[in-house]
């Protein structure tokens, strides 16, 4: 029997964790065999036994391997018929045949409709990330522009994550850069503030942005409240696609100011008009007949897939983003695009129209499922003529070009990885390389960093940072820091993944998984001392000799190109100058150094701005602000008398006593 305590099983066993909209209609069922029978059956025989007890109703099924990991999640109009198809060992691709062979258990959930099954399938795939499904990678949330209407003096900001009902959001934009460019342009046209509320409230004179005509300075009443509200309204209309109407209105106001001989005001409006015209001329392909839509165009080549996504809102092109989903080479473009669509909108709002580059199976069903999720009608279409078809052609061209670039990068990366394997005498070409580095200043705010690289370049979603926690380390002990990082990294890997698989097993796993969890090579930024520290740590964990280790010592005077390499049981050596492998290793080391330095600076910055009031129980942002406004500094608060603390607005007698005791009874000093 598969353990019910499995973390991966637990995610799928609770429908509330998948989709609240479906939780009341789903009926989970497990059609388990008796314990003795299940232990002795696998693959086709096991699936055939499950089929006998399956209903003909819609639902979702999951296949598990020996370790309890989810191999595949699928949906069916009829669970009995769909699962029965796996018992016929003809007509299956190698991928499906291998999946059937590895199956050791199955679980099922019945739903009222096929639409519910489709939505649940997408949720489970994204959360469980099964090995044999098409997986959407790089699934971060897209940025929006938000206007904070819940504040008396609204500002315009970049936003990711959850959205509030009392604010206006515009997007999505394809990248944070697109949002930044739009906000910068809006500053020139509408002069809306972009400072935080805290900075806004504390201003006593206009900032530099006002001096360079990027802000109207409402913080110091350089503009009246009514006029500022007009600017905010205009910015909302601009983001809603009404830029031409705003342009006409500004032109009219400029003429009026000029006619009244108010040439200074006319010049200001002229500059705003110029900035607005510049924005309109750089908005890219702005469709005339598409007001709100997302466009998906797919290209397949060389065993890889590229899906180019364009966002059109308020009749404007708000950018595009290229995805490279992981999928079996046997799947055609239609199958990949179908799976991609159902996962894409799991955590994103869906527009009223979705344009796709080709017809896919169950288009009506997917449209219905997306309509249920979005709460409004969603039209899914593959246009054959007109402007929409031209937009699709543009998307296909971008997908083709992006895939070409990706294939070229992957080919180069594969050659470099082969070269690394040869240079360091590895048994096989490494598919996952981990690079480690430490960063600190005299031992303070010490941070360890791990970066990961593979066949597709840097895998930034695999990066990890380690805040050095040991209290026994001597400040600046690089060897001790490296031992702590390695202990935490590989003890957790052993706990979560079990023993490291053999080289051939690791290679087999990587054929279908995006990246194997165990490294094929570990690079350490340091010389023989750091290498020995890592070697001893891995030996203590029972991993001695199982993972190739290489230390990279900087050359004399830290000159690039003169690095010396250390490996256990070998003499130190150097790579030839101008060797592409040497440049590649340097790039890996520099990326680890960049990530470590960045993590260290972030931690150091947090320590620098840390306020002692944050440690007082019961002190939140409002009380903290009240205390600082009253006393000026945290140091003054720490020296205040109990009676003075009680006099602060919003500070009760009990809270004043707590603050006083914190700074006096505990001998706190600032």
477-494 confidence digits (pLDDT tens): 888 889 999 999 999 999
Using the 3D structure, point to which of 580, 601, 622 is the last residue of a domain.
601
In a domain, 346, yes or no: yes
CA dihedral defined by 128, 457, 320, 397, rounded to 10 degrees? -110
CA dist., res. 363 & res. 91, Å (int): 25
Q: Looking at the structure, do residues 477 and 584 belong to the same domain, yes or no?
A: yes
- Shared domain for 440 and 562, answered yes or no, is yes
pLDDT at 666: 53
Q: Model pTM?
A: 0.61
75 vs 22: CA distance, rounded Å: 15
Q: 484, 474 in Cβ contact below 8 A?
A: no
Output 248 or 337, whichever has higher pLDDT: 337
Percent of the chain with pLDDT over 70: 84
Residues 18 and 116 in one domain: yes
Whether residues 298 and 376 share a domain: the answer is yes
Residue pLDDT, tens place only, 573-591: 988 888 889 989 999 999 9
Q: Is residue 184 part of a domain?
A: no
**What average pLDDT does this structure show over 92-103?**
84
Contact status, residue 352 vs residue 293, Cβ threshold 8 Å: yes
Assess if residue 43 is contained within a domain: yes
Q: What are phi and psi of 113, to 5 degrees?
A: -135, 165
Residues 53 and 103 occupy one common structural domain: yes
Helical ranges in 4-110 per DSSP H: 7-13, 35-39, 43-51, 79-84, 94-102
**Runs of H (alpha helix) within 157-242:** 176-190, 197-202, 208-211, 225-239
Please identify, among 128, 146, 169, the residue that sits at the C-terminal boundary of a domain.
128
Among 59-73, 89-103, 130-144, 383-397, the least confident range:
130-144
**Is 603 in contact with 440 (CB distance < 8 Å)?**
no
Average pLDDT over residues 509-516: 52
- Domain contains 269: no
- C-alpha angle 262-264-268 in degrees, rounded to nearest 5: 120
Asked if residues 122 and 111 have their Cβ atoms less than 8 Å apart, the reply is no
Let me know if residue 66 belongs to a domain: yes
Alpha-carbon distance of 561 to 414, in angstroms, equals 22
Residues 573 and 636 in one domain: no
Provide DSSP, 318-339: EEEEEE--B--TTS-HHHHHHH
The region that residue 184 occupies, defined by phi over 0 for left and psi between -120 and 50 for alpha, beta otherwise, is alpha
**Residue 459 shares a structural domain with residue 554:** yes
Residue 92 structure tokens = 């299956």
Any idea what the CATH number is for the domain that residue 499 is in?
A: 3.30.420.340
CATH number at residue 618: 1.10.150.20
pLDDT tens-digit readout, 515-568: 788 999 999 998 898 999 999 999 999 898 889 999 998 877 666 668 889 999
Is residue 168 in a domain?
no
How many domains does the chain contain in total? 4
What CA–CA distance (Å, rounded) separates 238 from 145? 12
Residue 299 lies in a domain: yes
pLDDT of residue 327: 82
> How much is the mean pLDDT over the chain?
80
Identify whether residues 344 and 440 lie together within a single domain. no
pLDDT-derived band at 243 (thresholds 50, 70, 90) equals low
Exposed / middle / buried, residue 162 (Cβ in 10 Å: 0-12, 13-18, 19+): exposed
Domain ranges, residue 90 = 7-128
In a domain, 367, yes or no: yes
Q: Are residues 508 and 617 in the same domain?
A: no
Q: Would you say the C-alpha torsion 243, 246, 252, 255 has a positive or negative sign?
A: negative
* Three-class SS state of 432: strand
**pLDDT the model gives residue 661:** 83
Query: Which has more pLDDT, 378 or 635?
Result: 378
């Amino acid at each position: 029997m598969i353990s019910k305590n499995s973390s991966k099983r637990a995610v799928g066993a609770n429908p509330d964790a998948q989709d609240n909209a479906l939780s009341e209609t789903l009926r989970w069922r497990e059609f388990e065999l008796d314990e003795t029978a299940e232990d002795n059956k696998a693959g086709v025989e096991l699936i055939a036994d499950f089929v006998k007890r399956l209903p003909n109703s819609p639902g979702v099924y999951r296949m598990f391997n020996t370790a309890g990991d989810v191999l595949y999640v699928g949906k069916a109009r009829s669970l009995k018929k769909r699962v029965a198809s796996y018992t016929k060992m003809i007509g299956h691709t190698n991928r499906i045949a291998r999946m059937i062979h590895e199956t050791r258990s199955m679980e099922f959930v019945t739903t009222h409709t096929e639409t519910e099954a489709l939505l649940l399938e997408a949720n489970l795939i994204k959360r469980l990330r099964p090995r044999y499904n098409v997986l959407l990678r790089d699934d971060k949330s897209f940025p929006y522009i938000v206007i904070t209407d819940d504040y008396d003096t609204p500002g315009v900001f970049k936003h990711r994550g959850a959205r509030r009902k009392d604010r206006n959001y515009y997007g999505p934009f394809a990248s944070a850069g697109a949002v930044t460019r739009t906000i910068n342009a809006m500053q020139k046209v509408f002069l809306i503030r972009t400072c935080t509320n805290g900075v806004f409230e504390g201003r006593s004179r206009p900032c530099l942005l006002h001096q360079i005509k990027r802000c109207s300075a409402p913080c110091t009443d350089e503009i009246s409240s009514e006029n500022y509200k007009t600017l905010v309204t205009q910015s909302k209309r601009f983001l809603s696609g009404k830029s031409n109407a705003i342009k006409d209105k500004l032109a009219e106001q400029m003429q009026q100011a000029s006619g009244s001989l108010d040439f200074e005001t006319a010049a200001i409006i002229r500059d705003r008009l110029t900035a607005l015209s510049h924005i309109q001329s750089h908005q890219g392909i702005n469709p005339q007949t598409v007001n709100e839509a997302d466009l998906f165009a797919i290209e397949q080549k060389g065993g890889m897939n590229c899906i180019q996504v364009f966002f059109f809102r308020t009749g404007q092109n708000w950018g595009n983003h290229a995805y490279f989903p992981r999928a079996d080479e046997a799947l055609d473009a239609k199958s990949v695009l179908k799976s991609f669509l159902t996962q894409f909108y799991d955590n994103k709002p869906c527009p009223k129209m979705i344009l796709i580059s080709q017809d896919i199976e169950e288009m009506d069903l997917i449209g219905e499922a997306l309509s249920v999720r979005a709460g409004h009608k969603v039209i899914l279409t593959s246009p054959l003529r007109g402007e929409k078809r031209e937009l699709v052609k543009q998307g296909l061209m971008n997908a083709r070009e992006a895939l070409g670039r990706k294939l070229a990068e992957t080919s180069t990366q594969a050659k470099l990885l082969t070269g690394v394997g040869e240079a360091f005498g590895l048994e096989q070409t490494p598919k996952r390389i981990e690079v480690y580095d430490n960063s600190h200043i005299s031992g303070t705010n010490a941070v360890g960093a791990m970066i990961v690289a593979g066949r597709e370049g840097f895998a930034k979603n695999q990066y990890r940072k380690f805040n050095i926690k040991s209290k026994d380390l001597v400040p600046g002990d690089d060897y001790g820091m490296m031992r702590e990082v390695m202990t935490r990294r590989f003890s957790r890997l052993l706990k979560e993944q079990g023993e490291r698989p053999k080289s051939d097993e690791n290679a087999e796993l990587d054929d279908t998984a995006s990246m194997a969890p165990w490294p094929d090579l570990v690079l350490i930024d340091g010389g023989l001392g750091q290498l020995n520290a890592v070697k001893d740590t891995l030996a203590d964990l029972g991993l001695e000799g199982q993972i190739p280790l290489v230390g990279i010592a900087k050359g004399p005077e830290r000159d690039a190109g003169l690095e010396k390499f250390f490996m256990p049981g070998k003499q130190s050596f150097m790579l030839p100058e101008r060797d592409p492998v040497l440049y590649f290793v340097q790039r890996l080391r520099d990326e680890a150094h960049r990530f470590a330095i960045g993590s260290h600076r972030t931690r150091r910055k947090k320590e620098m701005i840390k306020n002692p009031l944050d440690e007082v129980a019961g002190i939140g942002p409002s009380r903290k602000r009240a205390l600082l406004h009253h006393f000026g500094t945290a140091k003054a608060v720490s020296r205040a008398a109990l009676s003075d603390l009680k006099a602060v607005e919003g500070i009760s007698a009990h809270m004043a006593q707590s603050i006083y005791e914190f700074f006096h009874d505990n001998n706190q000093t600032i």
